[in-house]
Amino acid sequence: MSPTLTTTDHSRDIAGLKYIYPVISRRAGGLSIGVNFNTNNACNWRCVYCQVPELTIGTAPDLDFKLLEDELRFFLTNVLHGDFYQRFNIAENQRVIKDIAISGNGEPTTLQDFAKAVELIGKIATEMGVFPQSHFVLITNGSLVHLPRVQHGLQALKNYGGEVWFKLDSATDQGRALINNCAQSAETSLKNLTLSASLCPTKLQTCLFNYNEAGFSAVEQEALLSLLQIIKNDTPVTTVMLYTLARASLQPEANLLKKLSLDELSVFAAKIKALGFHVGINA
């Protein structure tokens, strides 16, 4: 018997495929077909809330494009014309492909042939009638947007009606080092966000949580609101997606992390809305 897909189970192996996996996504609001380029569990950041097992610092390995194509065609056929929904006990109201999301077990833009992979996914999904009805999403930390090969991928994403979900968890260098274990400054991240938004529709995604009983500090809140004011004034970004922890972290800091309540998220969301953003909340 196949397991029941839920928002708390994002196993990359659940469908028995290398690159393709299904999830019920809180943010997408239904079936999201994930694409995992980072099959080696390697990322250029190490976020403390990451659920990837045995996460390592590194880049995505070379991609087997023929296997990616075969898996995507096979999986889409099973969802569209087969018994996928029945086998995985998907509720009737969730039996629709909300999106195809390039995400996976690390930063997907570390793939050297990133643009070629985006183009292939877009071509197949269009041929099979999934696009443009369903969304095409890249979930990224945005750290490599300054690279031409990544920019070409964002342009391809836009050509298929896609959008970027750009990670912004902290606006302080201390917070980014603590939460994301990255050395890239908030200033550099802002430059990459601005570039991303010029190439493809871009939304912000921000994970908020209580770290080591310190809560979501006033310093972090003020810094993030200040940066968001700049983003609102200087970029076409209009949407912020706030969320908190839904699944257990597999990083060493896991026992220091606690999710924020819906009330806490809502209070901060109201401050962001006051700046003129559309805000989504997933508690």
91 SS3 class: coil
Report pLDDT digits (tens) over 92-139.
888 899 999 999 899 999 999 999 999 999 999 999 999 999 999 999
- In whole angstroms, how far apart are CA 68 and each of 23, 62, 77, 118, 128? 18, 12, 14, 11, 15
For residue 17, the model assigns a pLDDT of: 95
Predicted confidence pLDDT, tens digits, the chain (283 residues): 455 555 444 445 567 899 999 998 655 568 999 999 999 999 999 999 999 999 999 999 999 999 999 999 999 999 999 999 998 888 888 889 999 999 989 999 999 999 999 999 999 999 999 999 999 999 999 999 999 999 999 999 999 999 999 999 999 999 999 999 999 999 999 999 999 999 999 999 999 999 988 888 999 999 999 999 999 999 999 999 999 998 899 999 999 999 999 999 999 999 999 999 999 998 7
- In whole angstroms, how far apart are CA 209 and each of 140, 169, 245, 259, 262? 19, 10, 7, 5, 11
For residue 10, the model assigns a pLDDT of: 44
Contact 281, 271 (CB under 8 A): no
For residue 1, the model assigns a pLDDT of: 47
Residue boundaries of the structural domains of the chain: 20-282
For residue 245, the model assigns a pLDDT of: 93
The total number of residues shown for the chain amounts to 283
Question: Which CATH fold would you assign to the domain 20-282?
Answer: TIM Barrel (3.20.20)
Q: Detail the DSSP E strand segments found in 11-60.
A: 20-25, 30-35, 42-43, 56-57
Alpha helices, H only, 235-275:
262-273
Residue 272 backbone dihedrals phi, psi, to 5 degrees: -70, -40
For residue 171, the model assigns a pLDDT of: 97
State the Cα–Cα distance between residues 77 and 201, nearest whole angstrom: 28
Percent over 90 (pLDDT), the chain: 83
For residue 89, the model assigns a pLDDT of: 86
